[in-house]
Structure 1
Amino acid sequence: MQTTEAMHSPLTCYPMRFEPGADLKEGLIRFVEDNKLSAAFILTCVGSVTKATLRMADSKTIKTYDGPFEIVSLVGTLSGGGHLHISLSDSEGNVFGGHVISDVTVYTTAEIVIGNCSAAVMSRETDKRTGYKELAVYQRPA
């Protein structure tokens, strides 16, 4: 699918809460796989974490942060292995973020709503231009 094309798809929403100690990325990917969601993404997320391992914008630097931190934003796709970005704030209100690698551990709560476009299928395919596995969207077979 070209980026200029759009696809109409019904939306189903899945509200949920992750409890203290849960691994956010692992839990989200497991939920999507267990429920066979073909085109899942994050609609909203609020909560807090004690730890997060993130890749920075240079695509090479990986940093692990120990909190607690507030989740200011969590966005991304979940189907096809996931691609998540998070913004966190510290006790002074300083905000930082990056590409979620692992170890995003819930502190008090993570209240999340996942959306799924039931007429679509998302996968990740290597893009020769970037060298990365990038999002590919297809019409779900009838």
Structure 2
Amino acid sequence: MQAHPLRLVPGQDLRDTLENTVRQLGATAAFVVQGIGSLSVAQLRFAGIDQPNELRADLEILTLAGSVAPDGAHLHMSVSDAEGRVFGGHVARGCIVRTTVEILLALLPDHAFSRETDPQTGFMELFIRDRPRGG
């Protein structure tokens, strides 16, 4: 496992930046170990809901974790607003960094992740394969 710390800057889209970073690093498998920071917009899909819910406020990221494959990510996040209310769910595109986001990526060079339709769930799920050394 290789640790890769990352800092996002104001205006960046959190999910797009993570997915692009993993591709630019040439990684085939990564996990977001943790993330903290602030957002001005959060797009969170709540459990059992098809569309994300947009939150526009000064938001603090309390937790951020998930897996990142070259063909997409599966991320969950909890955020709090200025009144201390906490919201959490699946991270969609459009989560915009307000001041900073600090993330620790764990790159897994011995593995290859992909997102494929799982016949049992009917959803795009994580498939994990061993990656031969040197390839």
Shorter-chain TM-score above 0.5 = yes
2:102 corresponding residue in structure 1: 111
1:62 corresponding residue in structure 2: 52
In structure 2, stretches of 5+ residues that fail to align are none
**Percent identical:** 39
2:75 corresponding residue in structure 1: 84
- Whether 1:138 and 2:118 are equivalent positions in the alignment is no
1:72 corresponding residue in structure 2: 62
Residue 48 (structure 1) shift: 0.4
Tell me the secondary structure at the aligned position of residue 5 of structure 2. strand
Query: Per-residue CA shift, 1:92-136, capped at 9, x if unaligned?
Result: 111111111111100111011110111111111111121101111
Residue 61 (structure 1) shift: 4.0
Residue 35 (structure 1) shift: 1.1
Query: Per-residue CA shift, 1:46-96, capped at 9, x if unaligned?
Result: 100000112110142421110110000111001131111110001111111
Residue 21 (structure 1) shift: 1.0
Report the RMSD for the aligned CA atoms in angstroms: 1.1
Q: Which runs of 4+ in 1 moved over 3 A?
A: none
Cα distance between partner residues in 2 of 1:62 and 1:106: 17
Cα distance between partner residues in 2 of 1:62 and 1:101: 7
TM-score (norm 2): 0.93
Cα distance between partner residues in 1 of 2:24 and 2:94: 20
2:90 corresponding residue in structure 1: 99
Tell me the secondary structure at the aligned position of residue 102 of structure 1. coil
The count of corresponding residues between Structure 1 and Structure 2 is 132
